[in-house]
Amino acid sequence: MAEPQLVYSSKINKIRSFALILVFAGIGLMYIGLILKKIEWLMLTFFILGIISVVLSTVVYFWIGMLSTKTIAIICPTCEKPTKMLGRVDACMHCKQPLTLDKELEGKEFDEKYNSRKYKRELKKNQ
């Protein structure tokens, strides 16, 4: 089996598309419920599931709003468009160029692990 190719996209974009999928899933589930309206309990189940996923997407959108206040606006050095960064390493929203705020990580191969708590803890231990 071939290794899955890692296409890194900006975290905010990733979360946003997840929220969008949830909205469509919710609408889809409610639509299925509508088709199955002859079976009352099944219709209700699909409706409740649909509402849950729509509510969840609202929560996710709210969360993006919260996260956006913590991002750092920068100009991407590669495509020279303004982008937002979240965490120590992130990717440009436009050209997917990996970006870092940490001088220590400059020039290193891009890895999402640099954002994890575990990595930070290990870094402290080694110092």
Residues at the interface with Zn ion (CB under 5 A): 76, 78-79, 92, 94-95, 97
Nearer to Zn ion, 28 or 87 (CB): 87
Pairing of strands 89-91, 82-85: unpaired
Give min distance, CB of 10 to Zn ion, in A: 10
Nearer to Zn ion, 80 or 122 (CB): 80
Residue type (1 letter), 56: L
The two three-digit tokens of residue 24, written as one number = 């469509």
Are the beta carbons of 18 and 26 closer than 8 angstroms? no
Nearer to Zn ion, 30 or 76 (CB): 76
Give min distance, CB of 80 to Zn ion, in A: 7
Residue 62 to residues 40, 54, 69: CA-CA distances in angstroms?
Answer: 33, 12, 11
Give min distance, CB of 66 to Zn ion, in A: 24
